[in-house]
Structure 1
Amino acid sequence: MEHLEHLPRAVAAAASEKKARDITILDMKGVSLVTDYFVICSANSVIQAQAIIDNIEEKLDEQGIKSLHKEGSRDSRWVLLDYGNVVAHIFVEEDRVFYNLERLWGDAKAYKYEA
């Protein structure tokens, strides 16, 4: 994972600070034209998911990095934060299992983030 760019690691680290589970970075280069990386993580509840989202936004904002787009609201069970070459997906656990982005994008190289 050392060779991954700074931004996906920064997103994963910010999610980890709020106890996100099963943080996975998918290298989307060569697989998707939309972005270079997905960072996918799980939360136990909508409240925890919002804490994770807030922390990601705050930590990246401190580095002068603003999201280009956000999909989902404060009570959503899946929120997407688009930072251009990195797209973060924050799920409540059951919804992550249902949508299973790792399987959908199975051609992408996957890295488990460990704090």
Structure 2
Amino acid sequence: MKNKELVEIIAEACDDKRAEDIVALDMNQVSLVADYFLICHGNTERQVQAIARGIQESMHENEVDVRRVEGFEQARWILVDIGDIVCHIFHKDERHYYNLERLWGDAARVPLQLGQEG
């Protein structure tokens, strides 16, 4: 499975848990850390954890390994490492504080096809 397809699957998993402001960044030209960052947020710690669980379940269903999950207990900024794709799931307050989209402003945004079945 190509990374771009995987980004779409992860974004759908986030959307299914009502994640807000889902953004995918193409990191290929700006960082060696990952090919893509996927950034979103939830409004409560419980929702942030549900989004992270949704990503993990989706990866399991698609037979993709999740390498690491950090920050799950605190649920203020959960990082899900899927190898070439790193998902940042924030609590809304932390998202505005850290503002990764601005920090990685040189990265191109990847258009996502959320909620379009068929």
TM-score, length of structure 1 as denominator length: 0.92
- 2:90 equivalent to 1:91: yes
Cα deviations by residue, 1:37-87 (Å, 9 ceiling, x for unpaired): 000001010000111111110011011112111111233200000111100
- The aligned amino acid for 1:32 is S
Which residue is equivalent to 1:49?
48
| Structure 1, unpaired ranges of 5+ | none
- 2:23 equivalent to 1:24: yes
Matched-pair contact (CA < 8 Å) for 2:26–2:107: yes
- The aligned amino acid for 2:100 is L
Cα root mean square deviation, aligned: 1.5
Deviation at 1:29, TM superposition (A): 0.5
Flag as ranges the 4+ runs of structure 1 deviating above 2 A.
73-76, 111-115
Deviation at 1:12, TM superposition (A): 0.6
Q: Identity percentage over the alignment? A: 44
Comparing 63-72 with 24-33, greater Cα deviation is found at: 63-72
- The aligned amino acid for 1:108 is A
Deviation at 1:112, TM superposition (A): 5.3
| Structure 2, unpaired ranges of 5+ | none
Matched-pair contact (CA < 8 Å) for 2:46–2:75: no
TM-score, length of structure 2 as denominator length: 0.90
The SS at the match of 2:94 is: helix
